[in-house]
Structure 1
Amino acid sequence: MKTSGQQPNAPLPRKGMPSPKLEEEEFKTRYLGQFEDPAFRGLDPELSKIAEVAWQAYAESRKSPITRKAGEGFTDPDYELSVDWLAARDAIQAAQASHDAPSKKPLILLINASSRSEHTCPGEMSKSYRLVELSRDAILSEGDFEIEILDLSRLASEYGRKIHPCKACFSTAAPLCHWPCSCYPNHSLGQTQDWMAEIYPMWVAAHGIMIVTPVNWYQVTSPLKLMMDRLVCADGGNPDPTATHGKHADEAKAIEMAGWNYPRHLQGRFFSVVVHGDVDGVENVRHSISDWLRFMKLAPAGPLAEVDRYIGYWKPYATSHLELDADKDIQDEVRNAARTLAQAVNAQRQGSLFIAGSDFAEPREK
């Protein structure tokens, strides 16, 4: 953290929005709404008891019911930290150690950003997933890589998969945004089973990241946008929640005003982006994703690493997979993007490639 002599006065957090607090009856109605299946009716007395416990947790704002003292290495070692957050922090530290180990095979993270899957309502796999599989084979043709596939379609098809929305702590003050995110789980609000606790270490362990996504209404897909927003803590986030004693906005503002160094937790990794669409928007979406990755200090793998193309332009959606079958050019372009990423990762690991300018101090941070 930068220091600049006397700490300037920090502005007070602004208040004034209406409270979202529910009354007991409304809370219990919503809570019990997840048990509509008639098979639960024989358990109504037990469910009422459970709902009462949930109400007490909500009324008392028991966000993190299980905590332990932070211990050495933190600004306030006596501060009680959530065991959930500590477990996520430990997983990230292990992933960083794996990333840095010269004896480990290089790891590339392939991300399918489409929510379409034959295992849910659409009844058909996505073209994005097919391109991810094609990319995996292309990468393996370039050498001995470890590959991990992050299939964001599971957000819509797998029980218990959730990515909760970013609460925008960073916009209040950068040090209020903790790395990893400490907003979740929030047990009192039922905001649990947050997938990001597993996704953060995937990004940290990776030497290269490849995102394959369709265009949804001129934008990135819903699952991808959720993940993008929650990765804000990887770019300037505070690795020490005890410095702000949890979510104390006034303390975070004071720290930022004294000087914040915006640690780039994913800096130096390479990326590739493939965006495909049906009728419009591919170039803007590709720019959006690439600019976001660049801002986090990841580097494009090379001139062929970024692709935006239409598959079956203005053709029926029903035949879109047939259009992909026939479009050998886009298949080769995606292979080239994947191979470019693999070559960049290999070269960097061998010490023959570096990211020019990556060590320069920037006059302005975010």
Structure 2
Amino acid sequence: MTEVRKGQAPATLSREAFGERFRALFYDPKFDAERDALGRLERIAFENYEQGRKAPLTHKAGPGYADPDYDLSDEWRANSERLKALQSRQLDASTPSRVLVICGAARNDGTCPGEMSKTFRLCGLVREGLEANGIECDLLDMSLMQSEFGRMIFPCKACVSTAMPLCHWPCSCYPNHSTGQVNDWMAEIYERWVAAHGVVIVTPTYWYQSPSALKLMIDRLVCADGGNPDPTRTGGKDAAKAKEVELAGWDYPQHLAGRVYGLLVHGDVAGYEGARRDLSDWLDWMGLIDAGPQARLDRTIGYYEPYATSHETLDADQAVQEEARNLGRAVAQTVAELRAGRLQQVQPKLRRPRPK
């Protein structure tokens, strides 16, 4: 058994520091009339923080789990059961084909930029190609994190780096009610990935990388590649137990493998080619299947031209518009071949010598 290394985490916040952060949520003077009520809530919140009440509602795990007596979070159980039901529906050949189209841009006209993103428009063109081929489309707009109240994705805590089984599928790190880490959008996003037969990511390039919201989602999808579907095997977040389970042999289940993917990464100067390769490598690693070269695109829109006229540049670029439609068509056709069982006939079934 390897040693669990300790010594980085700071002490819990003092009562004063906690109160200062709590009250900052109610800075607006309109809350002044309720300061007494807020003070009472603050005291309860601090008690929950001190006691570490991460999952306040639990029940015994029961049959089907490695430890039936483990107090399993009600919220996690509900999320897990929804994913299992959606996976069964996704595998049902009688259901309509469904593709998740992800708009990776942070910009929309409901926030400070005051204008929609070109990425959103390109998603619409991809959808044209998909829907013309009978595909149901689900648009996931990552910019809603910036424009909707309470819409957020919390960062990955890197449980996998302690031991793969400590990373649960779906993620059990959130919600954490003791620290106020609630309204985690990923619970819904996991469902939308599982329900899809294909995924298309359309994204701009921000400083040679994916936009922040998109990267948050990518990091939190680590549990889809090797994640543990039974938290009771590791006693929840018991690092020592998780190490023991991994060292005894872990099969690194790929929970999203076999879905089709397409990519359109755009930029205006540089970085878009590397960003597209990074995304391709990530999706390949998770076991998704690309829809061919016309579905893995990196393009410039307005090379070294002003940002102020970038929408007009897109208006004039008929070629990239048609390429976006073709991407949708390619993904639609590949999904059809996959669901008909014809794509698998040309895919070699080889055992991975390195399952991680």
* TM-score bracket, shorter-length normalisation: over 0.9
Counterpart amino acid of 2:316?
A
CA contact (8 A) 1:268 1:358 kept: no
- Where does 1:211-230 land on structure 2 (aligned, <5 Å)? 211-230=201-220
**Cα distance, 1:300 vs structure 2:** 0.5
Stretches of structure 2 lacking an aligned partner (at least 5 in a row): none
- Aligned Cα RMSD in Å? 1.0
User: Corresponding residue for 1:132?
Assistant: 123
**Cα distance, 1:38 vs structure 2:** 0.5
Three-state SS of the structure 2 residue aligned to 1:209 is: strand
CA contact (8 A) 1:105 1:145 kept: yes
**Cα distance, 1:357 vs structure 2:** 4.9
Three-state SS of the structure 2 residue aligned to 1:304 is: helix
Out of 9, 12, 32, the residue aligned to residue 21 of structure 1 is 12
User: Corresponding residue for 1:11?
Assistant: 2
Out of 341, 344, 351, the residue aligned to residue 351 of structure 1 is 341
Are residue 99 (structure 1) and residue 67 (structure 2) matched? no
Any idea what the Cα deviations from partners look like across 1:147-177, whole Å, max 9, x if unmatched?
A: 1110100011111111000000000000000
User: Corresponding residue for 1:255?
Assistant: 245
Any idea what the Cα deviations from partners look like across 1:282-322, whole Å, max 9, x if unmatched?
A: 10000000100000000111121100000011000000000
**Cα distance, 1:69 vs structure 2:** 1.0
Three-state SS of the structure 2 residue aligned to 1:108 is: strand
Three-state SS of the structure 2 residue aligned to 1:16 is: coil
**Separation (CA, whole Å) in 2 of partners of 1:91 and 1:358:** 32
Any idea what the Cα deviations from partners look like across 1:25-78, whole Å, max 9, x if unmatched?
A: 100110111001101000000000000000000001110011111111100111
**Cα distance, 1:365 vs structure 2:** 2.5
User: Corresponding residue for 2:107?
Assistant: 116
**Separation (CA, whole Å) in 1 of partners of 2:339 and 2:347:** 18
Counterpart amino acid of 1:336?
N
Out of 279, 283, 287, the residue aligned to residue 289 of structure 1 is 279
CA contact (8 A) 1:214 1:277 kept: yes
Three-state SS of the structure 2 residue aligned to 1:121 is: coil
User: Corresponding residue for 2:78?
Assistant: 87
**Separation (CA, whole Å) in 1 of partners of 2:36 and 2:300:** 56
**Separation (CA, whole Å) in 1 of partners of 2:328 and 2:97:** 14
- Where does 1:263-282 land on structure 2 (aligned, <5 Å)? 263-282=253-272
**Separation (CA, whole Å) in 2 of partners of 1:91 and 1:158:** 24
**Separation (CA, whole Å) in 2 of partners of 1:252 and 1:19:** 23
Three-state SS of the structure 1 residue aligned to 2:242 is: helix
User: Corresponding residue for 1:78?
Assistant: 69
Are residue 340 (structure 1) and residue 330 (structure 2) matched? yes
User: Corresponding residue for 1:168?
Assistant: 158
CA contact (8 A) 1:299 1:355 kept: no
Three-state SS of the structure 2 residue aligned to 1:35 is: coil
TM-score, with structure 2 as normaliser:
0.98
Counterpart amino acid of 2:187?
A
Any idea what the Cα deviations from partners look like across 1:180-232, whole Å, max 9, x if unmatched?
A: 00000000011000000000011011110000000000000101100000000
**Separation (CA, whole Å) in 1 of partners of 2:178 and 2:244:** 28
Are residue 155 (structure 1) and residue 145 (structure 2) matched? yes
Three-state SS of the structure 2 residue aligned to 1:216 is: coil
**Separation (CA, whole Å) in 1 of partners of 2:258 and 2:318:** 32
User: Corresponding residue for 1:242?
Assistant: 232
**Separation (CA, whole Å) in 2 of partners of 1:326 and 1:99:** 39
Number of aligned positions between the proteins: 356
Are residue 361 (structure 1) and residue 351 (structure 2) matched? yes
**Separation (CA, whole Å) in 2 of partners of 1:53 and 1:224:** 34
**Cα distance, 1:12 vs structure 2:** 1.5
**Separation (CA, whole Å) in 2 of partners of 1:71 and 1:148:** 35
Three-state SS of the structure 1 residue aligned to 2:55 is: coil
